A and B are shown apart, each in its own frame.
Chain A
């Protein structure tokens, strides 16, 4: 009680954030009832009939659902791993660059695509990998058979993953670079005195120093394991690659928007949230237990 009195100003400052969270994050949760209703938008929550778990049963029994779930997990796991690995390598490499202007330039260049929207980029990538596009032009110059990248299930997945990593890697890279700068210079000096080279310094100082951030990024991304990149796939896919690239979100989108089956769509959304919550809880607990790392 006494602390509250002393810190009331701080709590007051927190209040707007709490209110916004309540309104925009907790308020809409009431909409979850949709998942248990034969929801009719024009009748609203109050006059739609309750159907128990029928919506969930309906969705899980759809023959596509398993495929869709699998696609989602495959794509997002690849993305998650690469989103840690690629930026890490980039950050470590950039850290070794001694010329300031050069590393700044590279940083910006890598970060730039992060700001482009998929609406624009998606079209560019489709053109890039089309039969008459530059990539196939290159293959032709090397006397290789042209490949229909966007119509081939294996290639398409790769392109989705690759292009998303390329687009987003700058963000994590900056975060990691920041973590590296946070490591005390004295540690490096001490290591140098002990005769450690750049490589040894990286293994024994830089990487352990970054560990908390790496874990944080990993934990945070795990919550999104069922988010495989809705916008990107919606713009880039086509019926031929449904098999390999139709993910939960695009599936729900078609279910909700075109069939207007809001109940089942909400059920899938609910399902996604529950899985995410469970995963976040587990990874958080693991991080706490084995690394003594805490967010809260």
Chain B
């Protein structure tokens, strides 16, 4: 009898389990819907709008956050995003309170946010990528920010937005409604560099590699000849992880070296111009096959980690920090993280930045035309859309000199947890020129005094400390990381500037919003690419690539190519 009942329940639950899983998202549709009060309420104030005006009554703003660990090792241990010291100032200055609906490590953010979208449980202020922007726009979920921006944007924010002639803002305006404040940056920040350990090169009496062949020799030597001279066979050639194209520790630069331009970091393919002036997907060009063939032989030889396909970016960072690998492709910011960790662990470590090696002589990195990864948007249901603009103003304002004593990592200010954050699009260039000006003139203080002050002064101080060998304020790695990523003439940004000047780059020609087929078929195609490329590297026949090209085309790739070219045609007509 007991069995009968139990079995009944179990049967029912087995049968409906998948149904339940598919539907459980629906439950809380009505939740998280603030009561809609009149929007005029906020505007009925007769006082002229003040970009940093304090609300008479506390305004609570909901947000969500995917967070990385604080970048600065001086940050208090165990601090949580809710304890971010920025929030205290935000409350004091603007009377805005931030409430997180949820916070997750950034690796889980995409998933979690999809779920939030599926259950229509969205926060007031969000940072979106273009794909999600398209979706929410289609659903008419985004507030019109035109009024809020015109009334409340601080002079600094307006200056940033207009620095590209209003181009980015126009991209995200539809029917005369500004739907997002785009956070765009210098596209050259995406330039691929080759980071390599100079001390290992010196140990083995090797020259910095300029061509792929030289790189291969160096990488092989780094595997076989004990570059760290610890008499142990514990090093491998090039940092790599399961995502061949990613935001770091990936192989974009490697492919670029072969004149192959498969991706700009997300798995979607990149677009280059062919001879007839049409756009073609870089992912399926024959150069990619050549590069894959090379990777395959490197894998076989042990230059690559045998189990790279099991590793994520965190594992790569661990290997770099532990001194197991001395070559990695990546962007300008590597010294700031994670190379600084390696420098702190091993004081002998000396990383340098090189232009990526190519087939004969240095190669050309791929650079996007616009770098705008995040869009600040406001939920249509929010009653104070201007709060978002004010918060952006607030973050920019906090960069001024008068907040310097307060705004420090050790006091719990974690800048990369604060959203929404819009940067000066020329921020890195400002830092580079101002710091170098001050260093060259042997100044003790920088002269600049505007909202960029903190950013410039921080790097300047670190540079001074590093060059003087002073570790009273921060460790050698931290100082070096700040200096070598942003200010050093042969460092991350310094090298990037040279590449920009020499025009040693290839543009990703497509910079529109993701096309309909990209949104729909994208992940299917990504899976196909991931699976095929990983297998080829691990030893499958190179002919698999040709099969891949065929499948890619028929599974939606051709359609995407068409859509991208349609866009390109319109773009040309503009």
Contact = CB atoms under 8 A, between A and B. Distances in A.
B119 A41 contact: yes
Contacts of A32: 19, 22-23
Nearest to B132: A260
A29 B16 contact: yes
Contacts of B12: 21, 25
B20 A270 contact: no
B162 interface: no
Contact of B110 (A21, A42, A258, A270): A258
Contact of B310 (A150, A216, A223): A150
Contacts of B147: none
B22 A260 contact: no
A266 B11 contact: no
Contact of B114 (A24, A43, A44, A257): A257
Interface residues of B, number: 55
A85 interface: no
Nearest to A217: B7
A130 B26 CA distance: 40
Given A30-B23, A151-B310, A239-B530, A261 B16 contact: no
A209 interface: no
Nearest to A175: B3
A40 B139 contact: yes
B566 interface: no
B306 interface: yes
Interface in A41-92: 41-45, 62-64
What is the size category of the interface that chain A forms with chain B?
A: 35 or more
Interface in A258-292: 258-262, 265-266, 269-270, 272-273, 276-277, 280
Q: Is the interface of A mostly helix, strand, loop or mixed?
A: helix
A126 interface: yes
B538 A63 contact: no
B307 A28 contact: no
Interface stretch (B446-454, B473-481, B519-527): B519-527
Given A29-B16, A130-B310, A150-B310, A239 B118 contact: no
Nearest to A295: B7
Contact of B523 (A17, A254, A262): A254
A258 B14 contact: no
Contacts of A296: 4, 8
B77 interface: no
B189 interface: no
B534 interface: yes
B135 interface: yes
A170 interface: no
A148 B299 CA distance: 14
Contacts of B24: 28
B18 A41 contact: no
A259 B522 contact: yes
B115 interface: yes
B504 interface: no
